[in-house]
Amino acid sequence: MERIYTKDLKNKVGEKVLLKGHLHKVRDLGGLCFGVLRDKDGIVQITTEDKDSVLPKLKRESVIEVTGEVKICEKAPNGIEVYLNSVTCLVEVKEDLPFEIDKPEINANLDTILNFRSVSLRNIRNRSIFKIQHTILKAFREYFTKDGFTEINSSKLSAHATEGGADVFKVKYFDREAYLAQSPQFYKQMMVGVFEKVFETNFVYRAEQHNTSRHLNEYMSLDIEMGFINSVVDVMKAEEGFFKYAMEMLNKECKEDFERLKAEMPIIPESGIPMIKFSDAQKLLDEKYGQKCFGEKDLEPEHEKLLGEYAKNELKSDFIFVTHYPTIKRAMYTMVDSEDPEFTHSFDLLFKGLEITSGAQREHRYEELKKNMERKGLNPADFEDYLSSFKYGLPPHGGFGIGLERVTAQLLNITNVRETTLLPRDLDRLTP
Amino acid sequence: MERIYTKDLKNKVGEKVLLKGHLHKVRDLGGLCFGVLRDKDGIVQITTEDKDSVLPKLKRESVIEVTGEVKICEKAPNGIEVYLNSVTCLVEVKEDLPFEIDKPEINANLDTILNFRSVSLRNIRNRSIFKIQHTILKAFREYFTKDGFTEINSSKLSAHATEGGADVFKVKYFDREAYLAQSPQFYKQMMVGVFEKVFETNFVYRAEQHNTSRHLNEYMSLDIEMGFINSVVDVMKAEEGFFKYAMEMLNKECKEDFERLKAEMPIIPESGIPMIKFSDAQKLLDEKYGQKCFGEKDLEPEHEKLLGEYAKNELKSDFIFVTHYPTIKRAMYTMVDSEDPEFTHSFDLLFKGLEITSGAQREHRYEELKKNMERKGLNPADFEDYLSSFKYGLPPHGGFGIGLERVTAQLLNITNVRETTLLPRDLDRLTP
């Protein structure tokens, strides 16, 4: 008999089937025994009235092979059960689990959950988080590939600290020092001269000392950079296009995972993601929410949260672009607004009141870029390789980066980004 | 007028068009000037007889915008030219290039080519290498996603050296030490208990001291791991399926890139990739090629080369699986052949006589795995997190890893793997 998966059982009612998976749960009522088999897509109840069955004697998570008949059973999850013919234990488990994984939520603290990551992810709710994350990544690569972008994989080891030097991890590289990349920023810009439009999906590293629910020291950054843009709006439109595409794909491929996580698909209005200028956002925060922030150089997390509420309630959007951030707060490669040099052609994307993206048009003019560096107190001689591509001509360009774990968390209303990270790394955690 | 790309010009003969790109080449014959515009997909000749045109005065790589009429021109590359109406320089270039990039091959040594990576990749032959690499990656992810695999991204920073400790880069991680991952091996196995079938495409790091044409200290590893296999043959069949899929995709999407690189699609026989046992391969090498290697514990590069010739000439295949490597030479997680414990259920895949993959069925039984560790002189206590997932049940499983840069090099008959790496890192190179 050929093995089938639990997801295909609904078309097999009345038939004999072979299933393989883990024994997710087992309950012995004496003469009647219910088990739950979990395979890569879902779970199914397995039932036996055979008093000699080995089923009630097996420990949870045992790897089993089951044959039986598919029956309608209203009380079972999904309304289906497999009435046992035989159960074989392929791999025995001798120890009890560190916590129960068959409830919707694991009843343990986050540290314990993360310590036993290969067990806690067997919880089907937790597993669904990463099926959704896989789909976001797939959508990102597919959307930009279809739009003519080329994938690049730029080195994560460099002789120089990427953007000035703070918060960077040092590596002993044979007899010298190297640094872990904080972003693919320089490389993706350099590659605009080669491929015109590029994307990258890779880990980046930030040696930040704070241990908040929003920060990780290693995270997956989804980056694009595109040439021959007319303005930063082209970059924002590219990001909007991606999110629409991703949501369609999630809707089609991850419905069950969303239901399991009690999450809803976010809303982007017909007219697109709304945009608000940084200084207008401050005015709004002051006038509508009594914040007194006008003139400050950045938005506080609380401000972002309020802007998220405003976008949701007034503009019927889960996303809002904040544009034209102050020059003083953006990196030297950001294009300054020539009509108002205190501000830049930059944006953040807030999703449900949290920043998930920074983006901008970049300064592509060699001389201007050098001046920008000097204004920020940086020495152009330290950026020779980077500047070299500008010397040989780069078109007007811009791009953005999205934190994958953070966007996953916001999408699923999960407050701690560690839960949406397969193997999180922070100030205290380097294992498993 | 809307911008079009050079690849679409063949459908626009007789029409007026707007193109944007770099000035790849320019030749002034006095009163007649030929230029070549390069955009993200290709090149096209631009011609003017206007004595006042700015075209002959522009430096190569200037970023330009061109309008003109599309004409048939037999002498031009692709048989098409754009007869100039106007040319505008969007970004000026003031310096000469470090080397010419408009010839099929760049006339400079590899070190110089790599030092000016953002320039040397503008050569259309070099650029094609990475369009092909993008497509291999796309094929890998698409093939395994369609087959029900889930993408994982496992941390590259760990408190322990992955597989015993040699050749590993150390990172200063706040007040302690971390190690860069040499492979996702342990994590992908742990995730078999969660997702059953997983893949990963990420950088891995090897602190190997040798500087050969085949080795890099940072490379992209394409990994899979799959549960509920019947034997290692299932793993080899999965790899074969991927290569067939990739070749079809390359044939469809990268024909022009292959022509530019004078490379041909490799051959897999109708009957599949041939397999030969390690010890039979040694016998063959001794008898047919006079090698005297029978009984040795590994194959030398020269042996792999000869086996590649054998596969090509006798079996009409560019690939050959060598199976059943000696236990002493394979990692502790490899499944030992219980009928002949000196050998393992493992394989290498040779592609045109070079190893591009190592794979195996893994030891999934907790007690046996601990014994394997002890036999190799390792302390199971050092592998607690890894062993924990076996304690809670993992099905029989196996997998493999492919070096992306190496497979790209072999595919395109390029001898040095640095040429198929966007930004190579080796003993001497940490820039750009």
Is the Cβ of A367 closer than 8 Å to some Cβ of chain B? Answer: no
Q: What is the pLDDT of residue B161?
A: 77
Q: Determine the length of chain A.
A: 432
Q: What is the pLDDT of residue A162?
A: 63
Q: Mean of the pLDDT values across residues A403-429?
A: 97
Mean pLDDT of chain A: 96
Buried b (16+ CB within 10 A) or exposed e, B203-240: bbbbbeeeeeebbbbbbbbbbbbbbbbeebbebbebbb
3-state DSSP assignment of residue B329: helix
Work out the pLDDT band at A331, boundaries 50, 70, 90.
very high
B246-273 pLDDT, tens per residue? 999 999 999 999 999 999 999 999 999 9
Bridge pairing between strands B354-361 and B157-158: unpaired
CB contact under 8 A, A392 and B93: yes
Tokens of residue B51, six digits: 């004595």
Q: Which of B392, B422, B425 to mutate to test the interface with A (most CBs of A within 10 A)?
A: B392
A63, A122, A187: residue with CB nearest B194 = A122
CB contact under 8 A, A194 and B22: no
Is the Cβ of B156 closer than 8 Å to some Cβ of chain A? Answer: yes
Q: What is the pLDDT of residue A163?
A: 64
Check whether A166 has a pLDDT greater than 80: no
Distance CA A416, CA A65 (A): 37
Name all domains of chain A by residue range, CATH numbers in brackets: 6-91 (2.40.50.140), 124-420 (3.30.930.10)
Distance CA B263, CA B257 (A): 9
Q: Which residue of A has its CA nearest to B99?
A: A392
CB contact under 8 A, B393 and A63: yes
- Which position has the token pair 């002034």? B28
Q: Which residue of A has its CA nearest to B427?
A: A174
CB contact under 8 A, B430 and A176: yes
Q: Which residue of A has its CA nearest to B201?
A: A202
- Top-confidence residue, A83 or B209: A83
Q: Mean of the pLDDT values across residues A90-99?
A: 95
Query: Nearest CA to A101 among A90, A112, A92?
Result: A112
Gyration radius (Cα) of chain A, Å: 26
Q: What is the pLDDT of residue B165?
A: 64
CB contact under 8 A, A194 and B121: yes
HEC readout, chain A: CCECCHHHHHHCCCCEEEEEEEEEEEEECCCCEEEEEECCCCEEEEEECCCCCCHHHCCCCCEEEEEEEEEECCCCHHHEEEEEEEEEEEECCCCCCCCCCCCCCCCCCHHHHHHCHHHHCCCHHHHHHHHHHHHHHHHHHHHHHHCCCEECCCCCEECCCCCCCCCCCEEEECCEEEEECCCCHHHHHHHHHHHCEEEEEEEEECCCCCCCCCCCCEEEEEEEEEECCCCHHHHHHHHHHHHHHHHHHHHHHCHHHHHHCCCCCCCCCCCCCCEEEHHHHHHHHHHHHCCCCCCCCCCCHHHHHHHHHHHHHHHCCCEEEEECCEHHHCCCCECECCCCCCEECEEEEEECCEEEEEEEEECCCHHHHHHHHHHCCCCHHHHHHHHHHHHCCCCCEEEEEEEHHHHHHHHCCCCCHHHHCCCCCECCECCC
Please report, as a single letter, which amino acid is at residue A217: N
Query: Nearest CA to B147 among B82, B225, B56, B47?
Result: B225
CB contact under 8 A, A430 and B92: no
Q: What is the pLDDT of residue A30?
A: 87
ipTM over 0.95: yes
Check whether A55 has a pLDDT greater than 70: yes
Q: What is the pLDDT of residue A160?
A: 84
Residues 6+ apart with CB under 8 A from A334: A327, A344, A345, A346, A360, A361, A362, A363, A372
B232-247 pLDDT, tens per residue? 999 999 999 999 999 9
Which residues of B are less than 8 Å from A141 in CB distance?
A: 138, 141
Work out the pLDDT band at A164, boundaries 50, 70, 90.
low
Q: Which residue of A has its CA nearest to B422?
A: A154
Work out the pLDDT band at B278, boundaries 50, 70, 90.
very high
Chain A (93-112) residues lying within 8 Å, Cβ to Cβ, of chain B: 93-95, 97
A22, A157, A365: residue with CB nearest B430 = A157
Is the Cβ of B182 closer than 8 Å to some Cβ of chain A? Answer: no
Q: What is the pLDDT of residue A161?
A: 77
- Top-confidence residue, B317 or A214: B317
Q: What is the pLDDT of residue B163?
A: 64
3-state DSSP assignment of residue B16: strand
Q: Mean of the pLDDT values across residues A162-172?
A: 82
B79-127 pLDDT, tens per residue? 999 999 999 999 999 899 999 999 999 999 999 999 999 999 999 999 9
Q: Mean of the pLDDT values across residues A28-37?
A: 94
A338-387 pLDDT, tens per residue? 999 999 999 999 999 999 999 999 999 999 999 999 999 999 999 999 99
Is the Cβ of B146 closer than 8 Å to some Cβ of chain A? Answer: no
Q: Count other Cβ atoms within 10 Å, centred on residue B267.
A: 13
Distance CA B170, CA B147 (A): 37
* Alpha helix (H) residue ranges in B80-159: 110-115, 117-120, 124-146
Q: Give the distance from residue B100's alpha carbon to the nearest chain A alpha carbon, in angstroms.
A: 12
CB pairs under 8 A between A and B: 238
Work out the pLDDT band at A210, boundaries 50, 70, 90.
confident
Bridge pairing between strands B319-323 and B275-277: parallel
B378-403 pLDDT, tens per residue? 999 999 999 999 999 999 999 999 99
Work out the pLDDT band at A165, boundaries 50, 70, 90.
low
A157, A196, A393: residue with CB nearest B62 = A393
Q: Which of A118, A141, A151, A188 to mutate to test the interface with B (most CBs of B within 10 A)?
A: A118
Is the Cβ of A169 closer than 8 Å to some Cβ of chain B? Answer: yes
Work out the pLDDT band at A198, boundaries 50, 70, 90.
very high
B138-194 pLDDT, tens per residue? 999 999 999 999 999 999 999 987 665 679 999 999 999 999 999 999 999 999 999
Percent with pLDDT over 90 in chain A: 95
CB contact under 8 A, B220 and A134: no
Work out the pLDDT band at A15, boundaries 50, 70, 90.
very high
B336-384 pLDDT, tens per residue? 999 999 999 999 999 999 999 999 999 999 999 999 999 999 999 999 9
Burial (CB count <10 Å: 0-12, 13-18, 19+), residue A65: middle
Residues 6+ apart with CB under 8 A from B293: B282, B285, B286, B299, B300, B303
Taking the whole predicted model, whether its pTM rises above 0.90 is answered as: yes
Distance CA B61, CA B63 (A): 6
Q: Which of A153, A205, A421, A425 to mutate to test the interface with B (most CBs of B within 10 A)?
A: A153
Mean pLDDT of chain B: 96
Percent with pLDDT over 90 in chain B: 95
